[in-house]
Amino acid sequence: MQLLDTAFGATVDWSRAQFALTAIYHWLFVPLTLGLSFLVAFMETRYVRTGDEFWKRTARFWMRLFGINFAIGVATGLILEFEFGTNWSNYSYFVGDIFGAPLAIEGIMAFFMESTFIAVMFFGWDKVSKGFHLTATWLTAVGANLSALWILVANAWMQYPAGMRFNPETARNEMVDFWNVLFSPVAMNKFFHTVTSGFVLAAVFVVGVSAWYLLRGREREMACKSIRMASVFGLISAICVIWTGDGSAVRVAEYQPMKLAAMEDLRNGQTRAPLTIVPGIRVPGMLSVLAHHSADAYVVGIDDLIDGNPEQGILSGDEKIARGRQAIETFAAFKAAQKENDVAAADSIARLFDPATEEGRAFRDDYFRYFGYGYLASPEETIPNVPLVFWSFRVMVGLGMWFAVLFVWMLVLEKRQTLGRKRWPLHLALWSILLVYVASQAGWIVAEVGRQPWTIQDLLPTVAAVSRIDAASVQVTFWIFAVLFTTLLIAEIGIMTKQIRKGPAD
């Protein structure tokens, strides 16, 4: 594995751009799939329990929109996984034993589960019993969200590598505790935060489309009942997003302090750190509360992480780089001893990479944990794009609060049977479809741009993870994918709007 060559600046930039492009387009389809599958299952459950054909007709309508979105989401997701091998082969080699496991489980268990039952879900009406069809619908929804679980476990491991050890014989990280990877605090929190945000998106989508029908004076009963169900589902999900968002702040403060500092543009660490609503408006002590659940807690700033802060036990960026290079040199010494058949020296050095030994644990805590810093030229490389992360966080939170208000508002109007009497609330609901996609993308910008330059936090930066390929080939495929994905998106929007205009089939 060749990690030390960092002369691929253009390749790194274009590979990052291509992966970001694919991920952005993929995430346009996934959250609607996650939430709409459950809403369809709820509607069909009402049909089976009541025998009311209205609910069957309503479920089949929203199921059609789910199916269109699902099909295109699969296409972008497959390309995303292939890019780990084509563009990020050093990364795949370095951690493939760990990262590949949840992806394999996702393909074997969750994806095949949903792909099996989705056929019954779409083509089994009046061909199988009501109970069997309802079971297939629920299993499709569960399978879709299980797929998200394993993908998010893999992503969470990149943010917080756990349950592994480095094997100097193979120069790879190997999994030693599967359950630690699966149930790490970052993985579980990320899963629930992400899927519930998908539920919110789907709920806003259903509310917005139903508002369109009310504005056109069509399908009033379906629109009102869909708004009621989606608003209840969305409000519960929004509360879960807020709760898991609090957990995310705590995890980020503990494991990715630079990301938190970028989210708040906090240059100098401080106790009773204020939370910035927008520049010029701050809530004293609130950031300390959110990050550490204590108003007197110290929140680390960007300058602390670059220059160091001995009083808070924070190493400088230069010291981390020096320790990372020491870890790399130790590994290189091990390979040199092997090449020279110096068994004693190789065995001695190998003990430093064995966490089961006392010297191994000390080496891991003092040096190997900074392994990735050894590939950086300066501490400033660890600072992400602060303005982008800062504003994306505010867009995500601000719009998230609006969606919670929207759900409550729609429930009140529906309860009072005044939906449609005033058109402007319906127009706001309709435009919120666009806003919820903006909020969803902003959340991923915070998560992924905020952790740059790391592919694996503190262990592997992007300059060391990229494949050794020419930048021109990545540029070509970038534009091919850009055209392809844009065409798919335009096609999906066209098909979806056509089906919405057509309405439920009788």
d(CA 403, CA 406): 5
Output the six-digit token pair for 24. Answer: 């952005």
What's the whole-number mean pLDDT along residues 226-251? 95
d(CA 351, CA 375): 23
- The burial of 206, by beta-carbon neighbours within 10 Å (0-12 exposed, 13-18 middle, 19 or more buried), is given as buried
What's the whole-number mean pLDDT along residues 477-506? 91
pTM of the model: 0.92
For the chain, the average pLDDT equals: 91
What phi and psi values does residue 174 have, to the nearest 5 degrees? -125, 145
What's the whole-number mean pLDDT along residues 311-334? 95
Q: Tell me the pLDDT band of 75, cut-offs 50, 70 and 90.
A: confident
For the chain, what are the domain ranges?
Answer: 9-256+386-449+451-498, 270-375
- Residue 218: C-alpha distances to residues 135, 208, 407, 420 (Å): 31, 14, 21, 11
Predicted pLDDT of residue 314: 95
Whether the pLDDT of residue 8 is over 90: the answer is no
Percent of the chain with pLDDT over 90: 76
Whether the pLDDT of residue 488 is over 70: the answer is yes
Whether the pLDDT of residue 367 is over 90: the answer is yes
What's the whole-number mean pLDDT along residues 190-213? 96
d(CA 196, CA 201): 9
Predicted pLDDT of residue 5: 47
